[in-house]
Chains A and B, each alone.
Chain A
Amino acid sequence: MNEVKGGEELSTGRRLTSGLTFLALGILVVTGVGFGLHQASKSPQSKLYATVNGTTDVPGFGTLKHAFISESVWPDVQTAVDNGAKADRRHPWPFYGPASHFVLPAHALVTVTLKVYDGGEKLNHNYFAKVIGTVGNTMTVDGKVVDALAPDGVQHTFTLHGIPTSTQDPLFVNVPLPVADPDNKPGSFHTVTFSFVTQGVGEYVWNCEYPCGDGTYAKFGAVMGAQGYMSGKVSVVNV
């Protein structure tokens, strides 16, 4: 009967100390886990700030700040390094570089210049072969104005959208990117530019709608389900 192991009962004071210490430790552990996760979440989301340079008249919108942003789409890290870009992605997957989180000014015309180096094929959904939501619903490919691509000649898409809410203006942009054919000519690329108008402050996401997760169901696994490659955030902020 008296084989119960362990110590004596503690005095109320010591019990209280023990309990409170434990509570504090517990909260500390959970907070620590949270901090760790938060840090892990941050790293691939390195931010790219748009540079504002003067103003522009946009039909229907008046005079707006003009912001610029430059980004590349690489088929893999090696190509990026060969072309003099900094790249530190873990997996041998295509990716948007240098950053995946774009910070844009509110109420501005944003002109994006994309250098696209990857090959490509057919979209899952032809809707994304159209240029949508840019000024004039067009983009330029190596200087030529284009409003759509053939659905089987797309390498990736830049598709920007978000949760429609009561406090955030809608923003939808879809730009298909033409195939650069790196298999035949390594290092070949197209330069795609397009402009769109941001309204109020808000948080959006962008992703690629070209199925580039080879070998997975609907080719939307692998790179498509990882962060920092083919998807990211867009923050519209007051500058």
Chain B
Amino acid sequence: MNYERIKEKLEILADAAKYDVSCSSSGSKRANKNGGLGNSNGTGICHSYTEDGRCVSLLKILLTNHCIFDCAYCVTRKSNDIKRAAFTVQEVVDLTINFYRRNYIEGLFLSSGIFKNPDTTMERLIRVAKKLREEESFNGYIHLKSIPGASDELMKEAGLYADRLSVNIEIPTKEGLKLLAPDKDHKDFIQPMKAVKSNIEIYQSEKRLIKNTPIYAPAGQSTQMIVGATGESDKDIMYSAHFFYEKFKMKRVYYSGYIPVADDKRLPSIGTAVPVIRENRLYQTDWLLRFYGFNIKELLNEDQPNLDMDIDPKLNWALRNLHLFPLDINRCSKEMLSRIPGVGMKSVRKIINARRYRKLNWEHLKKIGIALNRSKYFITCDSTYFEKKDLTPLQLKNKILQESSSKYSTHLNNQLTLFS
């Protein structure tokens, strides 16, 4: 192995792959039953964290950053004057195995620029995964990118070796895509998702009848959207996300604040701050939809097309629905407990368990660990003391903001000065 050369390739191709925010290695179940190398047991492991605070769980690289497309938002676009490189199949296999054996990673996340045509690219990605599984008896996690435009047959094969497949939709609206990636067709993104979704269903139903049916993409599919590149609203983004969750049974949708990589008048200029707060609010909304039983229309609609950046979306919802509160913490249902601002799902479980032993008062709730700074205005408990309920939503919001300090205060101040 030519160490210096590999190091240079790694530098270029890891750097080009880093804009894919997903690094999750969870959700798959692959036992090490052939006495080979590795397993994945459902919960992922972050083996390190970069200085931007993101988890490093997989070896996330591009096979090559040569690309025939010219998408304005992408750093590897054809017209960009950058160093190009390509790994051989064997080089990726060796790196993965050697990193894995040293407990650096949970597995491989392999993506690629599109060289020649989509099928050639997809076929090469599959060869890496196949070699890892069949020649190296590797049972670790493999995440492959579905290349837009790849044929259904190749997508079927990919799922037999990969744990997760993903196509990044990148631009949430069709109009935006037309503007920024004129040579890409919306349909090309959807087709591989459809193929994978139907294969997952076929293999799952076969598995129920025939036990030795091979597993197909056990960690499902995911996708990613860029936030803040095309002036889309939060409603546009979350309704798209909702569409992918419903229609394609996505395991995850990722939201990636746009990091300017080009001087292009269609896009925010280089040096524009990454919209991290907005990203955070979108993830909070995503969680409310998936785990807290919220309906998308309750959070975003015609009257409310954007999220409030000052407060979290659950608090925002509660302020618009004050008539439902206060709730008695000792009596109310699990569904309503999970709708109280400042109460997370873990706290919901703890409250339900603890109230079997005794009636809970403020002291108990504090110990359990719920965020009383927000929740106290929305609940009653085993106590004669409670907050006055005659405030208007706006008064209440200001009161809560005054009494708490946001971890984003520096960001918020910056944004204020930008707009004034």
Please say whether chains A and B are actual partners in one complex: no
Query: Which A positions have Cβ atoms within 8 angstroms of B?
Result: none
